[in-house]
Structure 1
Amino acid sequence: MRRTLIRLGLATAIAAALLGAAAVVTRPAPEDPTTVPAAQSAVRPPADLLGDRIARAQQRLRDVPGDWPGWAALGGAYLEQARITADPGLYPKAEQAAKRSLALRRDGNGDALVVLGALANARHDFPAARDHARAALTIDSFDADAYGVLTDALTQLGDAAGATSAAQRMLDLRPGLAAYTRASYDLELRGRLAEANDLMRRGLDGAVDPHDVAFCRVQLGDLAFGRGDLDTASAEYAAALSADPSSIAARHGTLRVMAARGDLRGALTGYAGLTASLPSTSALLEYAELLRLAGREAEASQQLELAEAAEGLFTANGGADGLTAAALALARNRPADAVAAASAEWKKRRHPDVADTLAWALHATGRDAEALPYAERAVAGGGHTAVHTYHLGMIQLSLGRQAEARTEIDRALRTNPYFSPLDASTARRALAGLRP
C-alpha cells in the first residue's frame, strides 16, 4: 500500500496557526546530497525550518504562558517534528503541550483535541483518535482538521464508508493538499487508481512550497510504482528531489526503483545512507530483505535488530503497532509470533493491510484454510495491490486451487511485475508451473 497517514495525522495544519509553517507535509534532510540545480539546492530542509519556528513558539509561550491556542499549536509542531525526524520520543512533548492547552481552556478547545487525535493516530490508538476528532467536531462542525484526523482513524479501523464520508467532508470544507491526499488514498483503497492519481495531480497543481511539491511528486511516484510503471515513478521521484533535495521519501522511492531494475549493488549502497538518515522500521526491513537477496545474512540480521530497536522506541513512547511486530516476526522466521501479533491487531482494526499480514502469517505456519478468508478480505474493497493479490494466489496454490491461484498470481504480476525483489521471482516461477 502506498502511504499511510497515521504516524502523524494532521499536526502540521494545527502548528501552522502559530508557527507559520508553509508545508502541509514536509521531509527531513538526507545525509547524502542528491545533485540538483543550484537554485533549488538553497531550499532549507524542513527540519531546520520547523526547529526555528518551534524555538520562536517556545519563547512566546514563556512570555505569554496562558496562550492556550499557542500550546495546542506547539503540540502539533512537536508531532510534525517527530514525523520528519522519525523520533517518537517527541510524542510525550506533543501530548504535554496539548494537555496544557486543555488545562488552560477545556470548553471550546477543538485545536487541542485535534492535536490529541493526531497523536493518537500516530501512536496507532485509532479508537481514541476517532473519539478526539468527534469531540472536536461537536465544538466546530466545520473543522476540516478534525475531519482529517477522523478520516485517518476510520480508514485504519476499517470503516470504509465512514472514512470516505469524512474525506469528502474535508474536501468540501477546505480543498487542499491535506484533503486531496486523504481522498486519493481512500480512492486507492477502493481500486480507483486513475481517480486517485488525478486528485494528487490537483494537489500538485496547487502546490507552491517546494516541500509540498516534492510531497505530491512522491505520491505520484508511489502510485506509478504500484502499477509497475518504473519510468514514470523514477521521473516523479527525480522531480521531487529537484524541488526538495531533503526529501527522504523521494530518495526511498528512487532506491525502490533501482532495486526493481536489478541494480542491487546501487540499491544496497543507497539504503545504507537512507536508513542512516531516517531509520524507519519499513526502510530497515526493506534493506534487510535486499541484504538477504545479496547473501549478506549477518548484515541483514543487524538491520532487523535496528528495526526492532526502532519499534521498541515507538512502543516505549506510547505506540502500539501489531502490524509491524508481525512483519518483524516474519522477517525473523517466527511465524507463530507473527500470527499472534497480527491476530491481536485484527481485533483492533480491520484495515486491508492487517488482513493481508494475518493471512500471510497463517500461510507461513501452514494454516492456509484459515488464511484464505483473510486474504480474500484484503482485496474485497477493490484495492487489488500486487502484494495482496500475490499472497492470495499463493495461499490458493497451497490449497490446491490451481485455477484460482493462476488468476491471482497472474493479476499480481500484471499489476506490478516489480512488487518485491524476492517474491516477484517466486510469483513468476509459480505462474510458469500453472500454465494450462
Structure 2
Amino acid sequence: MQNKDDKKVIRSWAFFDWANSAYNLVITSTIFPAYYTIITSDKDDSTIDYVTFLGFKFVNSALYSYAMAVAFLIIAIISPILSSIADTRGNKKIFMQLFTYLGSLSCCGLFFFKIETLEISVVLFILAAIGFWGSLVFYNSYLPEIASIKEQDKVSAKGFTYGYIGSIILQIICFVFVFKPDWFGIVDGSVPARLSFLMVGIWWMVFAQIPFRNLPKGSPNFKTQKGNIMLSGFSELKKVWGHVKQMPYLKRFLFSFFFYSMGVQTVMLVATIFGEKELRLSTEKLIGTILLLQIVAIPGAMLMSYLSSKKYGNINVLIGVVTIWIGCCIAAYFIHTEFQFYALAGVIGLIMGGIQSLSRSTYSKFLPQESPDHTSYFSFYDVTEKVALVFGMFSFGYIETITGSMRNSVIALAMFFVLGLLFLFFVKRVAPKTITKIYS
C-alpha cells in the first residue's frame, strides 16, 4: 500500500495541476474564447453573430456553450467505464496518461484554427476538453491514497496553487507573442493566438511526465471481472450510490455540489465571452483581467484551506463561499463598466480556487479512507460535476438564444447556487459525531 504524506509523491501529484492548468487558463478562460469570439463575429454591434456548424445555424457564443456541454456529456458517459477498469486492474495512471495525450495533442491541433476550419477546430476543442476533464477523474482519485485525512485540505490546495502558478507562467509567455508579435516578425494577426494553443499542448505534455514518473501505478483490487465490461462501470456507480444513500451527509453534499457546480464552472468558462459580448471589452483587457483573477485565486485557495482546517470547518466555509457566489451572479447582471467587471473578477478570483479545492477535499474526507475503490468514488464525484456542467452550459446557451442576452443566463446560474446553498444547510443537520471536525 502507498505510504501517505510522502512529500515527493505529493509534489509530483501537484505538478499535474501545474501541467494541465495551462489548458484551463489559455483555452477555456482567456486567449481561445477571445480568439473564437473575434473570428466568428461580423464586427457589427447591431447584429447577432451566427455561425454554421454541421449544416446548422447557431449564435456563436451559444455554439461555444453547446460544444462544452457535449464534451461534459461524453465524459459523464465514459468515465464510469474507464474508472471501473482502472480500479479492477489497478492501472489508473495509464488512463490518466491517455486522456492527457488526447487533450494536449488536440490543443496542438488548434494551431490550425481559422474560420475556414471552424468545424474540425470545434471538434478538437471538444476533444481537448474531454482530455482535460477525463484526466482529472484519475488525478483526483489519488488524493485519499497519497494524503492522510488531516492533510487532504492542504494537499488539495497545494495542487490548485501549483496549477495557478504554472498556468500564469505560460500565460505570460503567450502574452509576449499576442501583444508583441512584431518582436518575432509575425505579420499574420491570428498566429500569436494559435501559437499559444500549440504551446499549451506542449507544456501540458512535458510537465505531465513528472507525475507520470513518480505517482504509483494505482490501487489494484484484483477482482475478477464479471459481465459486460462496458456495463461494469455503471454497476460500480450504482454500488457507490448504494453506499452514498447510507451516508445522508455525503448524499446531501453531492446534491449541493451538483447545483453549485452548475454555476462555478459555467461562470469560469463563459467569463471572457461575457466581457467581450456584453461589455465590449478589448481582448487585451479581458486577458489581463483573467490573469489577475488567476493570481488572486492563489491566496484564495490557501485562505479557504486555512479557514476550513483551523477555524470554521469545511461545510461552514463552503456555505460562506456559495453565498458570495450568489452575490457575484446578481452583481454580474447589473455591471456595465470595465471597472465593475474588474472588481467582480477580483472577488470571483478569491473564491474560485477555494471552492474547487475545498469541494474536492471535503468529498475526500467523507469517503471510507481505507476503501480500495477510490477511483469509483471519484468517478461518481466527477460524473456528478460533468452532468451538472451539461445542464449549466446548455441552459446558459439556451437562455441566451431565446432572450438575446447573456445577463439573463447569469441570473439562472444564481438560482443554481441558491439550491446548492440550501443543501449545504441540510448537510449540517445530519452530520455524524465521528466527523464533526469537518464542520466546526
Please report the TM-score for the alignment, with normalisation by the length of structure 1: 0.29
**Bigger proportion of residues as helix:** 2
Q: Which one has more relative contact order, counting CA pairs under 8 Å at least 6 apart?
A: 2
Please report the TM-score for the alignment, with normalisation by the length of structure 2: 0.28
